[in-house]
């Protein structure tokens, strides 16, 4: 069997690494070609992750880089098509909801190659988010939809997607966390930054709705105020860093860092007193680890993290950051158990389905 995996951004490496490993183990004679679109290209956003996650060097680098959504998507389509024609895969696997995912799904479907989508069925019901458009289109085109939570199945059924395409397998991002937990728990990132475990708030913010307009300045002011009560550590995404150049962000207690590698980031996350984020994946990682998470968005495509987790939606409202210290005094003593099938074995389930279908083809 010949499989092509298309990845391109930081969270996609985390979601796909265990699937590549599980399928390579089951199909050692198969062709496993990794395509890196190059949507993320800085060493700290890309190579560090591939190295730490044990992903083999990509077979094809498309080097699409940054640009408008149309440019980025078009470049992936144009450069991926000859790769797929050359590779002649039996299956293309794409993760998540970024522009590279959408572009790879379209290219694959037009070549009439079977397509599998990891992390299918998530919906924010907010079409102003680029990721929502990418998810809807990718799910319509995919032949095999791998779901990590029950509400994903409801969303897909409501869009008319046939039952036999749906597979509830669990969460591959949590597979990576489970596989590397011993290593990140030993990494000691907090003590290297002189932070006491449990005492600090870890922050990540990168979504256009928050960082591309006036809300970013208000957010930094709120973080500066929060930092007077507890240390705040903020590894800054390059998109956010570019927007922050015009803002005074030097405040006592507010520690800005470069983007961190996977092990250092998960080490800081596991030892945090709380997390403030607009990321999707971090809502899931905090749910699994039982760390209080405050999401600075109006909605989430991951309601399971609210129902059975530790996630609180603050709204797209920087002023709500001021409520975090009081909310932390009201956390339940014991964290709820992780959602069903967030158990470290989702990629094995995917491999089982893919190889079962591969044999019958
Ligand atoms: C993308 C995804 C988002 C995902 C995020 C994870 C889309 C629409 N968005 O957002 O869903 O949550 O990745 O990080 O696909 N840049 C660099 N170096 C890099 C990458 C980006 O400097 O390695 C800068 C560039 O200025 C670029 C900007 O960051 O213009 C935004 O990068 P882009 O890939 O367009 O989107 P993200 O904001 O990273």
Name the DSSP letter for residue 322.
G
- pLDDT tens by residue, 80-105: 999 999 999 999 999 999 999 999 99
Question: Nearest residue CA, atom 2 of ligand 1?
Answer: 98
Q: Which atom of ligand 1 is nearest to the CA of 41?
A: 23
For residue 45, the CA-to-ligand 1 centroid distance in Å is 9
Q: Of 210, 37, 64, nearest to 128 (Cα)?
A: 210
- In sequence order, the 6+-apart residues with CB closer than 8 A to the CB of 240 are 205, 206, 211, 216
Name the DSSP letter for residue 44.
G
Question: Nearest residue CA, atom 12 of ligand 1?
Answer: 279
Name the DSSP letter for residue 214.
T
Q: End-to-end CA distance of the chain: give it in Å, rounded.
A: 10
Reported as type and span, the H/E element at residue 65 is none
Q: Are 265 and 238 in contact (CB under 8 A)?
A: no
Q: What's the pTM value of the predicted model, to 2 decimals?
A: 0.96
Cα three-residue angle 227-233-235, rounded to 5 degrees: 140
Q: Looking at the predicted structure, is the pLDDT value of residue 334 above 90? A: no
| Ligand 1 pocket check for 39: Cβ under 6 Å | yes
Q: Are 297 and 215 in contact (CB under 8 A)?
A: no
Q: Looking at the predicted structure, is the pLDDT value of residue 223 above 50? A: yes
Which of these is catalytic: 206, 237, 251, 345? 206
Mutate to test the pocket of ligand 1, among 68, 70, 72, 239 (most ligand atoms within 8 A of CB): 239
- pLDDT tens by residue, 224-233: 999 999 999 9
| Ligand 1 pocket check for 131: Cβ under 6 Å | yes
- In sequence order, the 6+-apart residues with CB closer than 8 A to the CB of 211 are 205, 237, 239, 240, 243
pLDDT, residue 357, reads 52
Question: Nearest residue CA, atom 18 of ligand 1?
Answer: 42
- pLDDT tens by residue, 10-32: 999 999 999 999 999 999 999 99
Task: Categorize the per-residue pLDDT at 332 as very low, low, confident or very high, splitting at 50, 70 and 90.
Answer: confident
Q: In 243-267, which positions are buried (b, 16+ CB within 10 angstroms) versus exposed (e)?
A: bbeeeebebebbbbeebbbbbbbbb
Question: Nearest residue CA, atom 7 of ligand 1?
Answer: 98
| Ligand 1 pocket check for 48: Cβ under 6 Å | no
Does the annotation mark 117 as catalytic? no
Q: What is the mean pLDDT of residues 176-184?
A: 98
For 176, other C-beta atoms within 10 Å of its C-beta total 29
| Ligand 1 pocket check for 241: Cβ under 6 Å | no
């Amino acid at each position: 069997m010949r499989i092509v995996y298309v990845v391109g951004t930081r969270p996609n490496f985390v979601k796909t690494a265990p699937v590549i490993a599980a399928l390579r183990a089951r199909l050692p004679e198969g062709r496993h070609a990794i395509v890196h679109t190059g949507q993320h290209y800085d060493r700290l956003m890309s190579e560090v992750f591939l190295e730490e996650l044990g992903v083999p060097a990509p077979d094809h680098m498309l080097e699409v880089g940054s640009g408008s959504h149309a440019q980025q998507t078009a470049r992936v389509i144009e450069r991926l098509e000859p790769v797929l024609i050359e590779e002649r895969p039996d299956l293309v696997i794409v993760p998540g909801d970024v522009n590279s995912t959408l572009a790879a799904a379209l290219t694959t479907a037009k070549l009439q190659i079977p397509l599998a989508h990891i992390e299918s069925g998530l919906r924010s019901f907010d079409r102003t988010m680029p990721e929502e458009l990418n998810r809807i289109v990718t799910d319509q085109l995919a032949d095999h939809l791998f779901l990590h939570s029950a509400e994903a199945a409801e969303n897909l059924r409501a869009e008319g997607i046939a039952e036999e395409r749906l597979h509830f397998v669990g969460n591959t991002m949590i597979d990576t966390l489970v596989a590397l937990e011993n290593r990140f728990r030993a990494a000691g990132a907090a003590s290297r930054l002189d932070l006491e475990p449990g005492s600090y708030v870890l922050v990540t913010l990168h979504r256009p709705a928050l960082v591309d307009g006036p809300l970013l300045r208000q957010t930094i002011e709120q973080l500066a105020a929060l930092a007077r009560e507890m240390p705040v550590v903020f590894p800054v995404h390059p998109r956010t860093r570019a927007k922050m150049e015009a803002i005074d962000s030097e405040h006592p207690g507010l520690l800005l860092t470069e983007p961190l590698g996977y092990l250092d980031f998960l080490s800081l996350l596991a030892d945090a007193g709380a997390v403030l984020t607009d990321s999707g994946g971090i809502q899931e990682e905090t749910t699994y680890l039982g760390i209080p998470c405050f999401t600075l968005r109006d909605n989430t495509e991951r309601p399971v993290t609210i129902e059975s987790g530790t996630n609180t939606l603050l709204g797209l409202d920087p002023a709500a950051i001021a409520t975090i210290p009081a909310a932390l005094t009201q956390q339940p003593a014991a964290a709820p158990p992780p959602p069903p099938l967030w158990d470290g074995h989702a990629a094995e389930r995917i491999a089982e389905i893919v190889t079962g279908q591969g044999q019958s083809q």
